[in-house]
Amino acid sequence: MENKKEFKSWLEGHNLPHPLVIAGPCSAETEEQVLKIAHELKDSDVTYYRAGIWKPRTRPGNFEGVGAIGLKWLQRVKEETGLLTATEVANRNHVELALEHDIDMLWIGARSTVSPFIVQEIADALEGTDKVVLIKNPVNPDLALWIGAVERIHNAGINKLGVIHRGFSTYDKSKYRNNPEWQIAVDFQTRFPDIPLINDPSHITGKRDMIFDVSQTALDLNFDGLMIETHHTPDKAWSDAAQQVTPDTLKQIFKDLRIRKTSD
């Protein structure tokens, strides 16, 4: 996987902006909600619109996602706004449905990256696709497990890939929801400088007022993009309410961030 320039081709070849911005709600809740947020993000820095359809909740009894119907809502987003679409996949069935509905970017969540069996199943289902695949770091601070998941996806012939740094869970008290452990992301970047590295300040912080600072740190460390959960009424969100920002706040964040030109 070392030194393969084509990893960044989906970013650079299509003249995508730097940093790449992926935004949208933690979960698709209703068709109206998905479309409302998308329309509010239409004229912004956002390129990919994210919404979780199948939600991996740590404990049962919470909202677990609307399921496949949400893929149709994402298709409407693309038709009406031109935003590209992204959702999480966690098994073969999810991959097949997402590909059938022409979702542009699929990501593997932190709770799936920890399982080589699941990652391999997803990799097998992805064979032959030219969609973008992003792999979140595993929930636990294990660089080898993260790299192993990327290798499984790459071995399935996927070159349009990238990784998402979403922090690591800890049993200790922390101001973060998931400790960033920046060194792990930097070690990944040092080892694989050609694999796009996206930061997810939403799941790192768990709190909307910390998102700006973590985003700035990521850009200062030369990350290629940001994934930020965005909701029109964050406090009423069905999942991850405390960390979601409004579309207006998102736009303000991008006005205020110091963004280094790639040529700097």
Footprint of ligand PEP (CB under 6 A): 26, 52, 56, 109-111, 136, 166, 203
CB of 113 to ligand PEP, least distance (A): 8
Residue 22 identity: I
CB of 203 to ligand PEP, least distance (A): 4
Binding mask 10-49 for Mn ion (x = CB under 5 A): ----------------x-----------------------
Q: Which is nearer to ligand PEP, 125 or 164 (CB)?
A: 164
Q: Which is nearer to Mn ion, 71 or 147 (CB)?
A: 71
Distance CA(41)–CA(35), nearest Å, equals: 10
The DSSP code for 229 is E
Pairing of strands 105-108, 161-165: unpaired
Binding mask 232-251 for Mn ion (x = CB under 5 A): --------x-----------
Long-range contacts of 101-106 (CB under 8 A, 24+ apart): 101/71, 101/72, 101/74, 101/75, 102/75, 102/78, 103/71, 103/74, 103/131, 104/48, 104/78, 104/131, 104/132, 105/22, 105/48, 105/131, 105/132, 105/133, 105/134, 106/131, 106/132, 106/133, 106/134
Q: Which is nearer to ligand PEP, 56 or 116 (CB)?
A: 56
Quote the distance between the C-alpha of residue 96 and its chain's center: 19
CB of 27 to ligand PEP, least distance (A): 7
Binding mask 186-225 for Mn ion (x = CB under 5 A): ----------------------------------------
Residue numbers at the binding site for Mn ion (CB under 5 A): 26, 240
